[in-house]
Amino acid sequence: MNILVTGACGQLGRTLKDVSTGYEHKCFFTDVREGEGIARLDVTSGKAVEEFLEAADVDVIVNCAAYTDVDGAESDEGMARLVNVTAPKVLAEAAVKKGAVLIHISTDYVFDGKAFRPYAEDDPPAPASVYGRTKHEGENEILASGCRYIIFRTAWLYSIYGRNFFLTMAARTADKPVLKVVSDQTGTPTYALDLAGLIFNVIDSQMLDKTGIYHFTDEGVCSWYDFAKAINEGLGHLCDIVPCRTSDYPSKAVRPHYSVLDKTKVKEVFGIDIPHWHESLICCIQDWENAGSRL
């Protein structure tokens, strides 16, 4: 089976690339810029995508490409819309022509975060930011295309690559005696390696016919403050983590106060066990320390 992974320079794409080492299927990794083992592909160009799918005889597209700068999207909606809406539409339409399956990564930001219970897949989206709206519209473009698809909504994704909360806290707690972190936003940290494992498991288990939208994060619930404390302690840093409110740090985009996703459906349909976020954080810290100078 031939698999195309877009957005391969991002944290999930790079994690998938790591996991694919020695993989039985042929994987093609692409992004808007070339890199080691990564080809250039403009996923907003229908012609470019269709030509790539034909040349590589692609069976499965894993779309990790996304505009994820939540605050940046508020002032650059055009770029956010190009990557989060146009690209999924292009990939979905190309998938239809090729007969390929599209696995697309979406986000908890399609909800406004005002609930008091975990969000299920059939809860009505109500995005409160440009980022959330464009990701929701991207989902709708995939559904309207008629392609075979699996959409995974995830939240609080982190890894040993790129820009994310784990790496930010690792750096700041190393050299700051005190650090304030928001304690009134609740969700579930999700290690990119766990999501990558699910994606390849779905492909390997020949469950690509399980069309639909699924929620996937690690298990458990915490605040950003709790997550920061766990990172600080896990790394053996001595920074004093102090809780604060969202209102203490005004931002351009509205952040969901409650981003917990219900994972009942993904566990039942794909028969998976999901690790607790703290267990996965320990694994991430070990992976980060082992990676050392490679990063």
**Given 109, 119, 131, 161, which residue is catalytic?**
131
Residue pLDDT, tens place only, 251-261: 888 899 999 99
Cα–Cα distance list, 14 to 9, 179, 261 (Å): 6, 29, 24
131 catalytic per annotation: yes
Q: How many CA atoms lie within 13 A of 242 on its CB side?
A: 8
pTM over 0.75: yes
Identity of the residue numbered 286: Q
The structure tokens 């005889």 sit at 57
- Per-residue pLDDT, averaged over 177-202, amounts to 97
Residue pLDDT, tens place only, 190-238: 999 999 999 999 999 999 999 999 999 999 999 999 999 999 999 999 9
Q: Is 259 exposed, middle or buried (0-12, 13-18, 19+ CB in 10 A)?
A: buried
Residue pLDDT, tens place only, 102-121: 999 999 999 999 999 999 99
Mean pLDDT of the residues in the chain:
96
pLDDT of 22 reads: 82
Q: Over 50: is that where the pLDDT of 52 sits?
A: yes
pLDDT of 294 reads: 55
